[in-house]
Structure 1
């Protein structure tokens, strides 16, 4: 423990002086009592009915001791003590990986798949504590980190707002880019099967990827292989299936394109990493998904001023002293 104003501790020098003054007063009162007993003006010492009898003498010094203890603690509080306190808090990094392929413009979720995902993501961002760093990845034919992990919620919201649907779907690249942002370094994985088996990017158990996609992967790398890499790095992927399994028809450049939610692929990715899959049938259910993401709780130690703790303890001791005094003599002082 340390003190911001250690010179205030000089006030503790008054405590021994007060103890000495109290003992001197008690001796003077005892001598005076003996004198009055000799004159027959007070009952003889040792009678239970006497004010100073054995039945009440045990409480005689308790009230002053409590008051003196309260004064001591109060003086310590004036020195503004600080202590190292362990504070548990949720901590980690969450990457919001958005599928921005053309199929995310489908209207089987109102107003569109992408707009519903963006609305729910904004709700998620607003609910997270400041200790959670959030980043944004957009993936279509390729993937780009739209926002590096940050605790600046305005930047995250701006990155979400900029997302627009275009191109194909490279789910694997979206996960790879998310891992790169989490690791703080490029993560490379080839198109050939097994190309990422020996990749070692570190271990990040307090990080998670929220993958918002309809699951219709159209290009390499294989999302399942990338999920194996995320699992080895301790990063859980929470796959959010955006759209309906019934599917819908979308018009792209004058052509009719059929699109449907591929739940099987997203479930495999989530299961591989130890995350979870959620079918978001509409924007309301999608918003609820974010509350289930489980990040690590850590205990961070930091210096904290505990003046209020000492002041509260002094108040309790003072009240106890007053209560004992009332019980013993019928008055506070």
Structure 2
């Protein structure tokens, strides 16, 4: 334990002085009682209660000691549990996310549920946003500023194709705080890519799972697994599919659950499908971030003052019960 104002501890010197004064007073009382007892005016001391009569005074002295300690503003190191970590919301913003088999659209439902999730997170959680189509971009680096995260989500709009691998890699880069270079070829290989280890991070991958562009999303999932990042894919759309009208063309699109399920399996995450915003909101409730113990120095003056008040009241109550007066 430490003290903000250690010099205030000098006030404790008054405690032994009070102890000596109390003992002196007790001796004088005992001597006076003995004289009166010899004259038959009071009951002899031997028939009176023993050390119990000192309890009220001891309690009040303890209360005074705690109050004097509180003047020095004591601090204690307290270990408290905190939910900590980083959550990156990776949004598929390809054209197919404009489909209306999820009300009002796949992307809008994802944005609404994600915004609700952001507002519920405790202060210890950092949130980031990644948008991916044919390529991927970090729309918002992980931050504890919820306003910036919500603004980044609100700006998202559907366009282009889908690269699940690019989305996962970009999200890993956001978690790592550095860009991750993906080989510029059609092999889909991510061999030799170094990310690091981030066991307290989670990625939520919101997509219909229709991958059209390298790298291989399963290779990207293996990269996330090696980095200790769990991926929670959220499937948006229906397996039966729907037809989307884009610039006068009819585009068939359906939910590819198999790919998203494999991504979850390889990263120790969980796959969930969401047919509407309400179902999607439940997905976020299944995300479990690690609890960590953090030691922080806190001023505990109020604790000392409260304990002193309890002791003072107890001492006063006992004194009144024994003698009819406080002191």
User: Under TM normalisation by the shorter chain, which class is it?
Assistant: over 0.9
- Secondary structure in 2 matching 1:87: strand
Distance 1:45 1:308 in 2: 42
Which residue in the other structure is 2:157 paired with? 164
Which residue in the other structure is 1:216 paired with? 210
Instruction: Report the RMSD for the aligned CA atoms in angstroms.
Output: 1.4
Q: Work out which of the residue numbers 86, 93, 96 in structure 2 matches 1:100.
A: 93
Q: What are the equivalent positions in structure 2 for 1:30-49 lying under 5 Å apart?
A: 30-47=30-47
**1:232 aligns to 2:221 (yes or no):** no
1:315 Cα deviation after fit: 1.4
- Secondary structure in 2 matching 1:59: helix
Task: Provide closer, same or farther for how the CA distance between residues 250 and 321 of structure 1 changes in structure 2, counting only shifts above 3 A.
Answer: same
Distance 1:320 1:115 in 2: 62
For residues 298-325 of structure 1, the C-alpha deviation after alignment (integer angstroms, 9 at most, x for no partner) is 1222221111111111112112222332
Contact 2:188 2:215 in 1 (8 A): no
Which residue in the other structure is 1:199 paired with? 193
Which residue in the other structure is 1:50 paired with? none
1:331 Cα deviation after fit: 4.0
**1:142 aligns to 2:135 (yes or no):** yes
1:233 Cα deviation after fit: 0.5
1:192 Cα deviation after fit: 5.9
**1:151 aligns to 2:141 (yes or no):** no
1:327 Cα deviation after fit: 3.9
For residues 67-95 of structure 1, the C-alpha deviation after alignment (integer angstroms, 9 at most, x for no partner) is 10110001111111112222211111111
Contact 2:188 2:216 in 1 (8 A): no
Unaligned runs of 5+ in 2: none
Contact 1:99 1:139 in 2 (8 A): yes
Contact 1:59 1:328 in 2 (8 A): no
Distance 1:194 1:140 in 2: 16
Unaligned runs of 5+ in 1: 48-52
Distance 1:19 1:215 in 2: 79
For residues 33-56 of structure 1, the C-alpha deviation after alignment (integer angstroms, 9 at most, x for no partner) is 010011110123323xxxxx2xx3
Which residue in the other structure is 2:62 paired with? 69
Q: What TM-score do the two structures reach when normalised by structure 1?
A: 0.94
1:330 Cα deviation after fit: 4.3
Q: What are the equivalent positions in structure 2 for 1:167-182 lying under 5 Å apart?
A: 167-182=160-175
- Secondary structure in 1 matching 2:52: coil
- Aligned structure 1 segments of 4 or more residues deviating by more than 4 angstroms: 191-194
- Secondary structure in 2 matching 1:46: helix
Q: What TM-score do the two structures reach when normalised by structure 2?
A: 0.96
Which residue in the other structure is 1:247 paired with? 241
Which residue in the other structure is 1:317 paired with? 311
Q: Work out which of the residue numbers 98, 101, 124 in structure 2 matches 1:131.
A: 124
Contact 1:212 1:242 in 2 (8 A): yes
**1:298 aligns to 2:292 (yes or no):** yes
Which residue in the other structure is 1:329 paired with? 323
Which residue in the other structure is 1:7 paired with? 7
Which residue in the other structure is 2:79 paired with? 86
Which residue in the other structure is 2:176 paired with? 183
Q: What are the equivalent positions in structure 2 for 1:250-269 lying under 5 Å apart?
A: 250-269=244-263
Contact 2:87 2:204 in 1 (8 A): yes
1:197 Cα deviation after fit: 3.7
- Secondary structure in 2 matching 1:182: helix
- Secondary structure in 1 matching 2:53: coil
Contact 2:190 2:215 in 1 (8 A): no
Distance 1:123 1:168 in 2: 27
- Secondary structure in 2 matching 1:88: strand
